[in-house]
Protein backbone atom coordinates (compact mmCIF):
# COMPACT_ATOMS: atom_id res chain seq x y z
CA UNK A 1 0.00 0.00 0.00
CA UNK A 2 1.40 3.37 -1.04
CA UNK A 3 0.86 6.82 0.36
CA UNK A 4 -1.51 8.83 -1.84
CA UNK A 5 0.44 11.97 -1.07
CA UNK A 6 4.06 11.03 -1.71
CA UNK A 7 3.75 7.62 -3.40
CA UNK A 8 6.20 6.04 -0.99
CA UNK A 9 5.16 2.93 0.86
CA UNK A 10 2.87 3.67 3.80
CA UNK A 11 5.25 1.63 5.91
CA UNK A 12 7.34 3.41 7.06
CA UNK A 13 5.34 6.52 7.81
CA UNK A 14 5.75 7.95 11.30
CA UNK A 15 2.90 9.15 13.48
CA UNK A 16 3.42 11.87 16.09
CA UNK A 17 0.90 12.97 18.71
CA UNK A 18 0.54 16.77 18.83
CA UNK A 19 -0.24 16.99 22.54
CA UNK A 20 -0.01 14.97 25.71
CA UNK A 21 -3.32 13.34 24.93
CA UNK A 22 -3.30 10.98 21.94
CA UNK A 23 -6.98 11.84 21.49
CA UNK A 24 -5.89 15.30 20.41
CA UNK A 25 -4.74 13.80 17.14
CA UNK A 26 -1.39 14.14 15.52
CA UNK A 27 0.59 14.30 12.37
CA UNK A 28 1.96 11.69 10.05
CA UNK A 29 5.17 12.09 8.10
CA UNK A 30 7.03 9.89 5.67
CA UNK A 31 10.27 8.25 6.78
CA UNK A 32 12.10 9.08 3.56
CA UNK A 33 14.71 11.82 3.88
CA UNK A 34 13.68 15.09 2.26
CA UNK A 35 10.16 13.87 1.60
CA UNK A 36 7.60 16.62 2.21
CA UNK A 37 4.75 14.22 2.95
CA UNK A 38 2.67 15.55 5.82
CA UNK A 39 -0.80 14.62 7.02
CA UNK A 40 -2.85 15.37 10.08
CA UNK A 41 -5.10 12.77 11.63
CA UNK A 42 -7.68 12.91 14.34
CA UNK A 43 -9.87 10.67 16.37
CA UNK A 44 -13.39 10.00 15.05
CA UNK A 45 -15.67 13.00 14.93
CA UNK A 46 -13.07 15.55 15.86
CA UNK A 47 -11.72 18.19 13.55
CA UNK A 48 -8.09 17.64 12.67
CA UNK A 49 -5.61 19.55 14.80
CA UNK A 50 -4.76 22.99 13.50
CA UNK A 51 -1.10 23.35 12.84
CA UNK A 52 1.19 25.06 10.45
CA UNK A 53 2.60 22.97 7.70
CA UNK A 54 6.13 21.99 8.72
CA UNK A 55 9.03 22.76 6.43
CA UNK A 56 11.25 20.03 4.99
CA UNK A 57 13.82 20.99 7.64
CA UNK A 58 11.22 20.47 10.36
CA UNK A 59 10.36 17.07 8.93
CA UNK A 60 14.01 16.08 8.71
CA UNK A 61 14.43 17.06 12.37
CA UNK A 62 11.45 14.95 13.39
CA UNK A 63 12.76 11.99 11.45
CA UNK A 64 16.22 12.37 13.03
CA UNK A 65 14.61 12.49 16.49
CA UNK A 66 12.71 9.24 15.98
CA UNK A 67 15.82 7.50 14.70
CA UNK A 68 17.79 8.57 17.75
CA UNK A 69 15.15 7.05 19.99
CA UNK A 70 14.67 3.92 17.96
ZN1 LIG B 1 3.61 9.80 2.39
ZN1 LIG C 1 7.34 9.95 1.20
Instruction: Compute the distance between CA of residue 11 and CA of residue 40 in angstroms, rounded to an integer.
Output: 16
pLDDT on residue 44: 77
In angstroms, what is the span from residue 39 Cα to ligand 2's centroid?
A: 11
As beta bridge partners, residue 41 has 26
User: Is residue 25 predicted with pLDDT exceeding 70?
Assistant: yes
Higher-confidence position of 44 and 64: 64
Neighbouring residues of the ion ligand 2, judged by CB less than 5 Å:
6, 8, 30, 32, 35, 37
Ligand number with the minimum distance to the CA of 29: 1
CA distances (Å), origin 37, targets 15, 20, 42, 51, 61? 12, 23, 17, 15, 14
Amino acid sequence: MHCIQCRHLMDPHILFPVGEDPDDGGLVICDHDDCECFNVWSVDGRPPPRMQRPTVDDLNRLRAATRRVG
